[in-house]
Amino acid sequence: MSVKRDGSDVGKEVVGERVVELVESGMVVGFGTGSTVGVFLRELAGRDVDVVGVCTSFDTELLARRLGFDVRSLSSVGSVDLAVDGADQVDFDGNLIKGGGAAHFREKVVASFSDRFVCIVDDTKVDSELDLPVPIEVAPFALENVLGEIGCLGGEGVLRSCGEKDGPLVTDNGNFVVDTDFGRIQKPERLSKEISCITGVVEHGLFPGMADSVLVGSSDGVRELR
Ligand code: 5RP
């Protein structure tokens, strides 16, 4: 398992700025979560484009409102033209692990209801195979049972704790997150289905084949992975 590395700020900045070029006035845009998305939102706020934003977390909503965006719920807009979001790891086929910010449930919902989902990462996030722990959002009521089922799939789950105070981290949806080490994930699509089949799992951070494009930023500029 590789250790999560700190992203290069240069990579995040160039890709966060470049993706703004895909946004047109009148669009409903899915606003992902995380520092790379933060670059995108700050850049977008400075442009002369008029969009409606659908946020994937309270953190993003706070930032988007502070930047002056028109923020609406997914239910009120129905669908999204373009979703822009980051990731924690991307393999060469464009499969993603997300959920470092514990927002993967809403991120997956927004990406799924979008005409186009563009993932933006810096080049330290790209690897030949996915091997970071997969964040799994779990209904607290079912925690012990889900941990048992995850073990049956060969995963080793650790309940994510809250950084600031004692106790488990609670997501925007009132659930827990279990970061689950599956080693090298050779078949992300299959594992994704297997985790989804566990009753009590709300959503997990594997996004196999979901991104329409993955843009990778580095000090050399921006390249498209797929
Ligand atoms: C949040 C996510 C983020 O997109 C992911 O953690 C990347 O964050 P950052 O852009 O700060 O590196 O999945 O749930």
30 lines ligand 1 (CB under 6 A): no
107 among known catalytic residues:
yes
Classify 33 as helix, strand or coil. Answer: coil
Query: Closest Cα to atom 6, ligand 1: which residue?
Result: 100
Report the half-sphere exposure of 131 (CA within 13 A, side-chain side): 11
Give the Cα separation of 141 and 35 in Å (integer).
31
In this structure, the strands spanning 28-31 and 201-204 are: unpaired
> Given the structure tokens 């899915």, which residue do they identify?
30
Per-residue burial over 174-203, b if 16 or more Cβ lie within 10 Å, else e, is ebbbbbbebeebeebeebbebbeebebbbb
C-alpha 103 to ligand 1 mean position (Å): 8
Tell me how crowded residue 5 is: count the other CB atoms within 10 A of its CB.
10
Rounded-to-integer distance, Cα 197 and Cα 200, Å:
9
Predicted TM-score (pTM) of the model is 0.94
Element (H, E) at 202: strand 201-204
Q: Please report, in tens digits, the pLDDT of each residue of the chain (226 residues total).
A: 333 344 449 999 999 999 999 999 999 999 999 999 999 999 999 999 999 999 999 999 999 999 999 999 999 998 999 999 999 999 999 999 999 999 999 999 999 999 999 999 999 999 999 999 999 999 999 999 999 999 999 999 999 998 767 799 999 999 999 999 999 999 999 999 999 999 999 999 999 999 999 999 999 999 999 7
Measured from the Cα of 37, ligand 1's closest atom is 10
Considering only CA atoms, which residue is closest to atom 4 of ligand 1?
Answer: 86
DSSP state at residue 124: G
